[in-house]
Amino acid sequence: MVLRLEFVGAKRFMCPKPPWSVPICALPLELIMMNWLHRWDADTPQFLMTNLKGPGPLTQGRARRSRPVLVADAIKDWVVERGLQPGDRLPGEADLIARFAMSKGTIREAMRLLQAQGLVVTKTGPGGGSFVGEVGKDRAHALLGNYFYFRNISIDDIYQVRIALEPDLAASLAGRLSVDQLAELDQIMTAYAAPAADAEEERAQHVASLKFHARLAEFADNALLGFVIGFMAQILADLTVYKRLYSKPNHELWKQGRDHQAGLVSALRDGDAEAARAIMREHMQMARRLMEDQEAVVMKRFMAE
């Protein structure tokens, strides 16, 4: 049998003695703190005890987590429990110390962890304090890029994902983009309206064409789908190097790629989902062949936010 305790808004740490011989203060901190948030009520400090048949998902794999990490996790859970939104004020330091019965150093370290994750924003001056933060797309891409830094992602890996996802994205947006959104895609394409004069310009045009795909991803109703596709485009734009660029720009490939994008915009405007899907699939396959011909590789470098 595993004892689960829920810590609720106590002003200071108390050590009551239960009917059995083990005092609560002798139990692991993880058991004392887990799930306290379900009854966080500053006016009724208490420990709630329930019996579990075995360890649950909240206890598995957390035995070695530090106190600041546990407090940070509890604050995140409380934010979710209360339905707080970016910009909403969080309790002050003194209130957190009282609620958790933790030292000032532990509370401050927990808040620093949340700030590093982008989930807490601290403001100084009149009206200052700690507020719920929102993790931006660029920061999330950078953090995810740091994760993949140690996992040797290849160009082939990236295009396997792009070919699987981007045709479906294109089909889902057919007939659903506004006049302004379609005009924005047309405007992006003006950056490579004419063929490149040299290899350096060709590389710049390739990066500009990726903005087309990144912006298309931002139009997605499916936030997860849009995020993943945008992340792939950012890796290709920021971390890709070419071992073998053409000595002379390949005008035929430029024309084919631009025609694909122009045809895609037309299909999106006309609401032709199947045409949009087919054009995007062909475009992705062509881009993959181009990357192979130029022996593109992903650099071992951390992504900037």
pLDDT digits (tens, 9 = 90+) for 244-301: 544 567 788 889 999 999 999 999 999 999 999 999 999 999 988 887 876 666 555 5
Highest mean pLDDT among 6-15, 37-46, 216-225, 287-296: 216-225
pLDDT higher than threshold 60 for residue 302: no
Residues 6+ apart with CB under 8 A from 246: 199, 202, 294
Check: CB of residue 239 under 8 Å from CB of residue 298. yes
CA atoms within 13 A on the CB side of 100: 30
For position 184, what pLDDT does the model report?
Answer: 97
Q: How far is CA 234 from CA 85, 159, 169, 184, 252, in A?
A: 28, 13, 17, 19, 25
Q: For residue 28, is pLDDT > 70? A: no
Instruction: Determine the pLDDT at residue 304.
Output: 60
* Cβ contact 84:101 at 8 Å: no
Of 10-19, 229-238, 281-290, the least confident: 10-19
Domains of the chain: 1-134 (1.10.10.10), 139-298 (1.20.120.530)
Closest Cα to residue 287, out of 166, 142, 145? Answer: 166
Express each pLDDT in 150-206 by its tens digit.
887 888 899 999 999 999 999 999 999 999 999 999 999 999 999 998 878 888 888
Query: Residue with structure tokens 């951390």?
Result: 302
pLDDT of residue 242: 56
Q: Give the per-residue pLDDT at 101.
A: 85
Lowest pLDDT segment from 21-25, 51-55, 204-208, 244-248: 51-55
For helices 199-218 and 179-189, angle between their N-to-C axes, nearest 10 degrees: 170
Alpha carbons 304 and 128: distance in angstroms, whole number: 29
Residues present in the chain in total: 305
The angle subtended at Cα 247 by Cα 242 and Cα 253, nearest 5°, is 75
Q: Which residues of 66-91 are buried (b: 16+ CB within 10 A; e: fewer)?
A: ebbebbbbbbbbbbeeeeeeeeeebb
pLDDT per residue over 100-142, tens digit each?
888 999 999 999 999 988 899 988 888 889 999 988 888 888 8
pTM over 0.75, yes/no: no
Which structure tokens are listed for 162? 């792009």
Strands 296-298 and 240-242: antiparallel
